[in-house]
Amino acid sequence: GAVVSQHPSRVICKSGTSVKIECRSLDFQATTMFWYRQFPKQSLMLMATSNEGSKATYEQGVEKDKFLINHASLTLSTLTVTSAHPEDSSFYICSATGGRGEQYFGPGTRLTVT
Amino acid sequence: GNSVTQMEGPVTLSEEAFLTINCTYTATGYPSLFWYVQYPGEGLQLLLKATKADDKGSNKGFEATYRKETTSFHLEKGSVQVSDSAVYFCALMRPSNTGKLIFGQGTTLQVKP
């Protein structure tokens, strides 16, 4: 089946620094990718919709200047957490939409901000 | 607004036991409903889905029926295996928001031999 990868799988950074997370669709082209955030023992919360070649659409309450999304190609979307703080520590998951509209999820990235 | 509520876990069962994980939803219009499964260390995978009332989704022995009258989409399996141990997420997608999924909080299933 379709595969979506994320890199890195886990990252630790210091408060105030920026971290970039990559999401790649490995065997299909994805015009739309989604970024989710998951807190421990909680649901996945949609952060933003990433469209290839255009600006991302952010959900209410998500700071677009803090969570920068770039969808530069049909197989790659990146999420950059700028000036990270401990409260940004979370599990970030991306998904990519295939040709028939089904979503394929990446394995997630564990971000820890110290 | 739109939301999904799942029964809290963890759910612990013995092998070959019957499984039910409850899921109810609140939505405007007629959403599509999904069950996703997340095995340890892996990404979410679509388990089954239903797109209209009374539809039954099924896969790998799991079933769920879209019940509009009770706004429910309960997941069932007649005989669970140890390999079914995972986290199960119920989700909905509104017709007007193709692609945007709203998830329940997830239910952890542990199956013991």
User: B32 and B48 in contact (C-beta within 8 Å)?
Assistant: no
What is the SS3 assignment for A102?
Answer: coil
Say if residue B17's pLDDT is above 70: yes
Put simply, whether A106 touches B (Cβ < 8 Å) is: yes
Strands B86-93 and B107-112: antiparallel
Among B36, B43, B104, the residue with its CB nearest the CB of A108 is B43
Out of A26-30, A100-104, B24-28, least confident range: A100-104
A vs B, Cβ pairs < 8 A, gives 46
Burial state string for A10-39 with b = 16 or more CB within 10 A and e = fewer than 16? ebebeeeeebebbbbbeebebbbbbbbbbe
State percent of chain B over pLDDT 90: 81
Per 3-state DSSP, chain B is made up of helix, strand and coil in percentages (nearest 5) of 5, 50, 45
pLDDT at B41 over 80: no
Taking the Cβ of residue A41 and every Cβ of chain B, the question of whether any pair is shorter than 8 Å is answered with: yes
Residues near B3 by beta carbon (within 8 Å), at least 6 away in sequence:
B25, B26, B27, B102
pLDDT band at A10 (very low <50, low <70, confident <90, very high): very high
**B69-108: burial string, b at 16+ Cβ within 10 Å, e else:** eebbbbbebeebeeebbbbbbbbbbbeeeebbbbbbbbbb
Does A102 contact B at CB distance below 8 Å?
Answer: yes
Predicted local distance difference test score (pLDDT) of residue B97: 65
The predicted model gives B53-82 an average pLDDT of 97
CA of B57 vs chain A CAs: smallest distance (Å): 15
